[in-house]
Amino acid sequence: MKAPFITFEGGEGSGKSTQISLLCEYLKGKGVDVVVTKEPGGTQIGVELRRLLVQGSIDKMDANAEALLFFADRRIHMTQLVWPALENGQWVVSDRFADSTTAYQYYAYNKRLSKEDIDMLYQFAVGNFKPDLTIILDIDPKVGLARSFKKAEGMKTKETRNENRVLEFHQNLRQGYLEIAKNEPNRCVVLNADQTVVALHQEILAVIKERFGI
pTM for the whole thing?
0.90
Q: pLDDT (tens digit, 9 = 90+) per residue, 11-29?
A: 989 999 999 999 999 999 9
Residue with the larger pLDDT of the pair 166 and 202: 202
Quick one: pLDDT at residue 155? 63
The residue ranges of every structural domain in the chain are 5-212
pLDDT tops 70 at residue 190? yes
What is the SS3 assignment for the chain? CCCCEEEEEECCCCCHHHHHHHHHHHHHHCCCCEEEEECCCCCHHHHHHHHHHHCCCCCCCCHHHHHHHHHHHHHHHHHHHHHHHHHCCCEEEEECCHHHHHHHHHHHCCCCCCHHHHHHHHHHHHCCCCCCEEEEEECCHHHHHHHHHHHHHCCCCCCCCCCCCCHHHHHHHHHHHHHHHHHCCCCEEEEECCCCHHHHHHHHHHHHHHHHCC
Q: pLDDT (tens digit, 9 = 90+) per residue, 149-186?
A: 777 676 666 556 667 788 898 999 999 999 999 999 99
Quick one: pLDDT at residue 59? 78
Architecture of domain 5-212: 3-Layer(aba) Sandwich (3.40)
Quick one: pLDDT at residue 133? 98
Percent of the chain with pLDDT over 90: 70
